[in-house]
Structure 1
Amino acid sequence: MFSNNKLALAIFLAVSSASLFGCGGGGSSSNTDTTNPPTTSEPTWTVGVFEPSSEFKDQCAVPRTGNDPYNDNQPYPDTAGSEFTEKMWLRSWSDETYLWYDEIEDNDPDSFSSVAAYFTQLKTFETTDSGAFKDNFHFSRPTEEYYQEAQSGVVSGYGINWAFISNVPPRELRVAYLEDDSPAANAGLQRGDTILMVDNVSINTNTQEGIDILNEALFGPTAGDSHNFVVQSNDGTEKSFTLVAGNITQSPVQNVKTLTTGNGTKVGYMQFNSFISIAQPELISAVNKFKADNIDELVIDFRYNGGGLLALSSQLAYMVAGPANTDDFYYYQTIQNDKQPQDDPYPFIDLEIDYSTYRTTGVDLPDLNLSKVYVLSTDNTCSASEAFINGLKGIDAEVILIGGTTCGKPYGFTPTHNCATTYYTIQFSGANYKGFGEYSDGFKPTPSPQFDADIKGCEVADDFDNKLGDSQEDLLATALYHIENNTCPIVVESSSAKQPSFTSQATQEVGLPLTIKKPLYKNNMDLTRPLPAKEGDNE
């Protein structure tokens, strides 16, 4: 992402500046070298002194040229700068907006070899009560990648979303779910398939060369890459596939269906994987189906939903609860640092949003008018998914949690672009209508809640032996049992009893032993607020 020419550019600017002063650059016009106009000198770092971030914005070591296809084809805002100006922008921007700005150590930007390395440490290293780092969600990604996913849901890969059951030899890597009409789905891979070998390298390799091959093939493919996989199905059959990676359009809403329990209760079920903008019409379609089916109960499968747009989370909460349960309440109150103004509370949004302009359209959302919802969860249920749970709890809508403790991310950010990179730094936490928002160690399902972060429900391990949406799959089966009996079933340990660490096609780090990192850009909560409908729109 960063060019080796940046250091040379920084030196050139410094030398040019010195030469101008030596030639009397501050003297009369008769002594001015008109062939070499003055060049702005590099800024300087002084510990504890912060210039406004606007003074360094879009001053890039490698400025982009041409027009931005994701911004109405307007010219890129980039101007000539250096790695140092990019670091200084990050420093000031973090000091202005980071939730715990006073816990950032103000280190010399020149002490870091790259912009990326400097950004990595611009955060707090304090811990929660459980000993976990308070900020595990600090990351960046190429801006083009951000727009591809945010606007069209496109990612590069095979359409496989993975889950590690064991990340040390003997490793166990299984298919969590597949994107619709993807290379993997069309080749016949299924949920629960276990990876044995990739490009003739065993999943249990202990050589660095083998690890590099696995990393590239499993987690870092680009469109056009071809790799061979040997997998074992749930019935013990071994199969071999050659998959060619492509640009995959995600299918955030899957397996929408209405089930009927033994006592005649109609239960709506949907698997919801990501709060991205392309999910809005799919969610509306699902709610309309459930409404037409006249469902009595609703089960939303968030087990692999790492978050996304807070506005879409609010829309879904409204569509579940309806105006009878949400009128006169707000959904989410953002809490920012003391340098930022206090925003108005985030409402339950009852209108469709044009996510290309971030304006409401004036079209009413459908609703189910439910005062209770079942949520299926794992430790990969994060951010906007947790905001959904907390927002409904704030208005006394009953949430029954089935599965595992959620990931614990009551924080969010507004993705911010600078010099072809999009940065995510925690800029707010949030609280529901009752003022509760401290669930940094996750929401825990339990039959007998005792603490604010305890949610009534049943703890159940993820089940890879059955398809998602199958009434025999452990989490859904438990939800159906609870619907009929208002209690948890007697626990029978699943064949995949260990909770997995879920991962998607984002680049992962496979180590010796294997070290799994969550795809952080999936675990985000985007605060961007939709604007009112344009004048003349149907209100």
Structure 2
Amino acid sequence: MDIKKYIAGFALSTLVLVSCSRDNTPESTPTPTTKANEINDFVWKAMNSWYYWQPNVPSLADSFKNSADYIPFINSKSPDGLFYSLLYDYGNTDRFSWIENKNTIVAASRVAEVEKSSGFDYAVYPKDGTNTSAVALVNYVVPGSPAANAGIQRGDIITKVNGNPLTLSNYSSLSQDQFSITRAATAVMTSTALVTTDKVENISITRADIDENPVAFYKKYSYSGKNIGYLVYNGFKSDYNDELNAAFATMKGDGITELILDLRYNGGGSLETASALAQMINGSFTGQPYVYLDFNNKHNNEDGMEFLKNTVNTYNIINGHPEVTGQQPVNSLNLTKIYVLVSFQTASASELTVISLNKYVPVTTIGNETYGKFVGSITLYDSPASDYTSYSSRNTTHEWKLQPITFSYYNKDRDSNPSGGRGILPTYDVNPYKAINNIKEFGNTSDPELKKALELISGQTITKTAESPVLYTNKNIRFQPRNEANGLVIEDFERFSKRKK
């Protein structure tokens, strides 16, 4: 059966839970009737069929559909209220499922995500042991974005939002349509706190609709007779498969023999793209198993391996939906090892790359513990004849669609993943606070994680550089309509192929 599968990725901006308003209005409560609400009936049936933890949710039991409680239960809630009420141990076991209406994420309480529609990605850190005062470190800025036009740079430390000191309670204001910020003039890490002084400024930013190229930066280094490539990749977005493949073609032309892959700000995305990346790195294992997917018992026929291919699909977004427009042979560097920079914002398909690629090519990780998301999802539409997987045959009288967790993934040997919300521990741990005063433009070796990787590869001490960044872009930044809720940005590009058993 052809279904659309992908690993939904989350780029996390902090380690704390926040509460995000759905739409700043109370949840509607439909009047109970003797007939099931059409949209809610779709929500329940799709979840009953595909939700990974369906056996653990009593109100999703098969017998519940025919009980006297079914219609009153589903009709007493709005579609989003029903959806979130059906999730298993939401916020703990399931931190990742969501529902959309009109391409807008309708969110309940969840882990805060990195705001990108202003054009800058950030991480939030407490300033001291009180876990109240905070700063936001700018990880990167999208060229041509509102943040870039306002002069925001990678490594900037944000101390105030809308004139108020930044805290772990108000930092979500950085996701407003309009807001202002103040940056630190100086920042000094003491034994107990990060001490900052502010610049005399008040920078206003208005969000824009941005389709960000995740292939953010490439630079070549030459140390100890080795050609070392440094590639910053910020999202497994399948409509940028061609840009990713082109970046590897550039590296082949540069004679790259060692690769540092920066996934610190990559929250995941397309499974197809993740498999293609593995081929671009090595390329010697075409046809071999790469990742194992495990669905619930109703879809055991979907369990099985994803295999490595020597081609990659290219996509365009048509009417808000990804469509295959071509196919390219994979450009491979034929590497026998790789160095990956990771952080607490590294999740999903990025973590898959580490655990699955490591079965074929030794992967050395540098940074701090990853987020720990070893589950994925498919998009579910109101198309019961296709078991809720067909976009083309969906009910077009409404625009609700679901993105629940539908499978777990494992490497080819089905090794156990970290549990209890833990992520992948790095080979070389770098305290994230160490980077607070050392993050400059991409490629500057003042970045402690990049510096560590270069030293491991070259066997020599690397001194700080002050070189200008070399941005890798095949296209100008593309602006297109894209609706978001509360600043939540999730790459949800799908894969169109029949998986081998």
Question: Measured at CA, do residues 373 and 233 of structure 1 come closer, stay the same or move farther in structure 2, by a change above 3 Å?
Answer: farther
- Specify which of 437, 443, 448 is matched with residue 469 of structure 1: 443
CA contact (8 A) 1:97 1:427 kept: yes
CA contact (8 A) 1:353 1:530 kept: no
Normalising by structure 2, what TM-score?
Answer: 0.71
CA distance in structure 1 between the aligned counterparts of 2:175 and 2:166, rounded to whole angstroms: 13
Runs of at least 5 residues in structure 1 that lack an aligned partner in the other structure: 15-40, 44-83, 127-131, 147-154, 447-456, 490-504, 510-518, 533-539
CA distance in structure 2 between the aligned counterparts of 1:387 and 1:205, rounded to whole angstroms: 30
Aligned to 1:42: 35
Residue 196 in structure 1 maps to residue 155 in structure 2: no
Q: Deviations over 1:210-240 (max 9, x none)?
A: x4xx64x41131xxx4x33222245766133
- Specify which of 49, 59, 65 is matched with residue 106 of structure 1: 59
CA contact (8 A) 1:183 1:246 kept: yes
- Specify which of 409, 412, 415 is matched with residue 379 of structure 2: 415
Q: Secondary structure at the match of 2:232?
A: strand
Question: Measured at CA, do residues 460 and 297 of structure 1 come closer, stay the same or move farther in structure 2, by a change above 3 Å?
Answer: farther
CA distance in structure 1 between the aligned counterparts of 2:168 and 2:247, rounded to whole angstroms: 44
CA distance in structure 2 between the aligned counterparts of 1:104 and 1:133, rounded to whole angstroms: 14
CA distance in structure 2 between the aligned counterparts of 1:432 and 1:237, rounded to whole angstroms: 47
CA contact (8 A) 1:358 1:530 kept: no
- Aligned residue identity for 1:88: D
Question: Measured at CA, do residues 4 and 136 of structure 1 come closer, stay the same or move farther in structure 2, by a change above 3 Å?
Answer: closer
Q: Secondary structure at the match of 1:521?
A: coil
Normalising by structure 1, what TM-score?
Answer: 0.66
Q: Secondary structure at the match of 2:369?
A: coil
Aligned to 1:482: 456
- Specify which of 304, 307, 327 is matched with residue 268 of structure 2: 307
CA distance in structure 1 between the aligned counterparts of 2:92 and 2:381, rounded to whole angstroms: 25
- Specify which of 245, 249, 256 is matched with residue 218 of structure 2: 256
Aligned to 2:412: 433
CA contact (8 A) 1:156 1:246 kept: no
Residue 347 of structure 1 and its aligned partner are, at CA, apart by 1.6
- Aligned residue identity for 2:306: Y
Aligned to 2:141: 178
Question: Measured at CA, do residues 507 and 169 of structure 1 come closer, stay the same or move farther in structure 2, by a change above 3 Å?
Answer: farther
Q: Secondary structure at the match of 1:300?
A: strand
Aligned to 1:361: 326
- Aligned residue identity for 1:165: Y
- Specify which of 83, 92, 103 is matched with residue 133 of structure 1: 92
Q: Which has the higher strand share?
A: 2
Q: Deviations over 1:317-363 (max 9, x none)?
A: 111111x2x13411112111111113452121321313246548343
Aligned to 2:111: none
- Aligned residue identity for 2:307: P
Residue 229 in structure 1 maps to residue 200 in structure 2: no
Question: Measured at CA, do residues 156 and 141 of structure 1 come closer, stay the same or move farther in structure 2, by a change above 3 Å?
Answer: farther
| Worse overlay, 236-245 or 382-391 | 236-245
Question: Measured at CA, do residues 231 and 427 of structure 1 come closer, stay the same or move farther in structure 2, by a change above 3 Å?
Answer: same
Aligned residue pairs: how many?
398
- Aligned residue identity for 1:385: S
- Specify which of 335, 338, 357 is matched with residue 294 of structure 2: 335
Residue 528 in structure 1 maps to residue 480 in structure 2: no
CA distance in structure 2 between the aligned counterparts of 1:294 and 1:133, rounded to whole angstroms: 45
Aligned to 1:537: none
Structure with more relative contact order (C-alpha pairs < 8 Å, separation 6 or more) = 2
Residue 138 of structure 1 and its aligned partner are, at CA, apart by 1.7
Aligned to 1:501: none
Question: Measured at CA, do residues 156 and 302 of structure 1 come closer, stay the same or move farther in structure 2, by a change above 3 Å?
Answer: closer
- Aligned residue identity for 1:311: E
- Specify which of 242, 250, 253 is matched with residue 204 of structure 2: 242
- Specify which of 238, 241, 247 is matched with residue 280 of structure 1: 241
CA distance in structure 2 between the aligned counterparts of 1:193 and 1:364, rounded to whole angstroms: 39
Runs of at least 5 residues in structure 2 that lack an aligned partner in the other structure: 1-21, 61-68, 106-114, 188-196, 317-321, 383-397, 463-482
Residue 445 of structure 1 and its aligned partner are, at CA, apart by 1.3
CA distance in structure 2 between the aligned counterparts of 1:303 and 1:368, rounded to whole angstroms: 22
Aligned to 2:344: 379
- Aligned residue identity for 1:442: G
- Aligned residue identity for 1:443: I
Question: Measured at CA, do residues 428 and 276 of structure 1 come closer, stay the same or move farther in structure 2, by a change above 3 Å?
Answer: same
State the identity as a percent: 24
Q: Secondary structure at the match of 1:280?
A: helix
CA contact (8 A) 1:460 1:475 kept: no
CA contact (8 A) 2:138 2:153 kept: yes
1:39-188 equivalences in 2 (<5 Å): 42-43=35-36, 84-106=37-59, 109-110=73-74, 113-125=77-89, 133-145=92-104, 157-166=117-126, 168-188=131-151
CA distance in structure 1 between the aligned counterparts of 2:120 and 2:373, rounded to whole angstroms: 25
CA distance in structure 2 between the aligned counterparts of 1:4 and 1:530, rounded to whole angstroms: 41
Aligned to 2:353: 388
